[in-house]
Amino acid sequence: MLQLILGGARSGKSRLAEKLATDSRLQVTYIATSQPLDGEMNERVAHHRARRPAEWALIEEPLELARVLRESARAERCLLVDCLTLWLTNLLMLDNPERLMAERDALLDCLASLPGEIIFVSNETGMGVVPLGELTRRYVDEAGWLHQALAERCQRVVLTVAGLPLTLKGTAL
């Protein structure tokens, strides 16, 4: 089963994804896409790390998400990817549109063949004002297109607001 958990900053999306992973009763592998490059991001990573069960496996991969999913997916495993918008940012910062499209297409193309359960976490960024800068507008556009394509392939899509899940597609939580 593929699930997409969307929400704004501090909406409860990661906490919900972690609960769903725990409730799956499968072996869990947490796939972190962040690159903690500053003190504030280091604190966020530490907070997430402290909240996760010790028995969960961890893979840190900022760019090659499709490869990691293909290598790690198993029928008896739940993969929790947190988060897609950080992954997208990492690719955008490479300033290589071909690499971005290749990694995005590889991700979308591999999903149907992956066994087990996969939970994606991502920031919903398209509900606010239109950003002023070219890069931030491109980021919002790319995230929106990615979310649409992924939601099409997922069996469940949930929007979290104030810690509350709103099921947009699939069985309600």
Give catalytic residues, as residue numbers: 48
Q: Which residue has the tokens 């997430």?
A: 48
Q: Is the distance from CB of 87 to CB of 139 less than 8 angstroms?
A: no
Peptide bond into 110 cis (omega under 30): no
Query: What phi-psi label fits residue 45: left (phi over 0), alpha (psi between -120 and 50 degrees) or beta?
Result: alpha
